[in-house]
Amino acid sequence: MAIDFKKHRWFFTSSGSLVIGGKSDSQNEEVIKDAKPHEVILHTKSPGSPFCVIKEAIEETSEDIKEAAVFCACFSQSWKNSKGKMIEVDIFAKAQVEKKKSMKTGTFGIKGKVEKVKVEPKLYLTFQEGVLRSVPFESDIALIMPGEMKKEQAALMISKKLEIPAEEVMSALPADGISIKWL
């Protein structure tokens, strides 16, 4: 049984593939358990990242993988510390994921060679499935990058401008340290 992606971090790539990421340790467990053997998994090189999975794509394109990597990086702890610098993301297969009994919830080991990509931490606001989302490809609402604004402050500003609930905006934004450029 597939997980309810709308309870997690999610977006659709520019080619239409669904990417799901965990919002917590328990959701990271869920996302990894639900991943199929052929699905691509991503996590930042540094701890404090969602595990992200490109779901049910017939074949992931390099663009899908890059977009998923940007999304993963932007919702990681590296977002706050990046100050606009590139963030390294690891890309691997489910067969490489291992869970030892001594590992805490949401933590996994990765066996074998891992592909790495460095991405720029920037997202764009758009609507997908009728809900505000932050996506790693250009849209027509706003550009979100690392900055000085608190998440709540950014959410209130966006909520007023778009006339949507602040809770919806909060679920679309990365952690504190946001700058907004209206498009």
The per-residue pLDDT for range 18-71, each reduced to its tens digit, is 999 999 999 999 999 999 988 999 999 888 899 999 997 666 689 999 999 999
39 vs 2: CA distance, rounded Å: 13
3-state secondary structure of 74: helix
CB burial of residue 178 (10 Å; 0-12, 13-18, 19+): buried
DSSP state of 22: -
Q: Indicate the pTM of the whole model.
A: 0.94
Nearest CA-CA partner of 89 in 19, 24, 38: 19
If one compares 116 and 58, the residue with the highest pLDDT of the two is 116
- Six token digits for residue 162: 């778009």
Cα–Cα distance between 7 and 23 in angstroms, integer? Answer: 9
**Domain spans in the chain, listed from the N-terminal domain onward:** 5-119, 123-182
The residues that bridge with 11 in the sheet, in sequence order, are 19
| pLDDT tens, position by position, 88-101 | 999 999 889 988 88
Distance CA 68, CA 154 (A): 23
What's the number of CA atoms in the CB half-sphere (13 Å) around residue 55?
A: 20
